[in-house]
Amino acid sequence: MSPDHPLEGKVVLLTGGTGSFGGAFLQKALREADCVVRVFSRDEYKQSELRERHGEERVRYMVGDIRDRERLTRAARGADVIVHAAAMKQVPACEYNPFEAVQTNVIGAENVVSAAIDAGVPRVVALSTDKAVNPINLYGATKLCAEKIIVQGNTYAVGESTRLCCVRYGNVVASRGSVVPLFERQREAGELSITDERMTRFWITLEQAVENVLYAVEHTRGGEVFVPRIPSMRVVDLAEAIAPGVDRRVIGIRAGEKLHEILVTSDEARHTVVRDHVFTVLPEHHGWIQDGLPSGEPLEEGFSFSSDTNDRFLDVEELRALVS
């Protein structure tokens, strides 16, 4: 335990607490800080699994849906931090169920803002994704809306203690919906399906994702989007790392899928600074910030953080070590 840890002595409300990120966040928070975590999710069975693992001394298990503003506000009372990780994130599910995706990802984000302000929660960090940048599918579009809602939610908190921000990062190694479990299953069948051999993606571990959230809790002044400088990977290198020598079949890019991903656009770069290996996209409207915008090194004109032009790529051996 460290007195300087951003969660030390805090009560944390963790929405989507039974997901991949939620499990990693909960484990790290309990290990490193003397804090209480309220796990908020719809799945009571997964909550029971967490209860068996972590007990009830410093974890509270709250069944609820972020679509339910009243329940969310009650869960937020007395909290010092909200980490908002609840979302519908499967691209095909969002495309087939657009009303549900909007209710969860967009209206849910609005409810988080309202609950935080009504309950007087000082810090809110919401998880976003590279899919929110220049979105071409409904999932990305809903997460773009969620980012805007969280960032501009600070205007509703002027005069209040609440400050809200986002973190934005790429694909998480071996999380639910990751291509890693798919490749592992296909390896056993003797053939891997690859959408396009030119494809690149940003790559981050769950540990790094949690660290980025903790960084945001500690450094936010409200309205920033924090983007870690993470490496890229080539899908063919990932295939080789998981299934060396196994036959591959190119099936073509699926609907709503990009060849490459972007985490910071050239337009955002004009109001982005770099500090501690983190890109901080500063809010363009920031009347709630009284002591000046966060400092850092400005980006070059025309810079964009794209998975295909990244200056750091993971090689086959590095990828193999990560997925193993």
**The two three-digit tokens of residue 294, written as one number:** 């966060």
Beta strands in 147-304 (DSSP E): 163-169, 171-172, 191-194, 200-204, 225-228, 232-234, 247-250, 262-264, 272-275, 278-281, 297-298
- Alpha helices for 243-292 (secondary structure H): 266-269
Active site annotation includes 131: yes
Helix (H, G, I), strand (E, B) or coil at 41: strand
CB 28 within 8 Å of CB 207: yes
Q: Are 279 and 310 in contact (CB under 8 A)?
A: no
- Cα–Cα distance list, 215 to 80, 167, 211 (Å): 15, 9, 6
The SS3 of residue 290 is: coil
Query: To 5 degrees, how large is the angle CA 112–CA 35–CA 4?
Result: 105
- Catalytic site residue from 89, 131, 143, 258: 131
- From CA 101, how far away is CA 93, in angstroms rounded? 8
Q: Which of 79, 47, 20 is nearest to 217 (CA)?
A: 79
Residues comprising the chain, all counted:
324
In the structure, how many helices (H) and strands (E) does the chain have?
A: 12, 17
Catalytic residues: 131
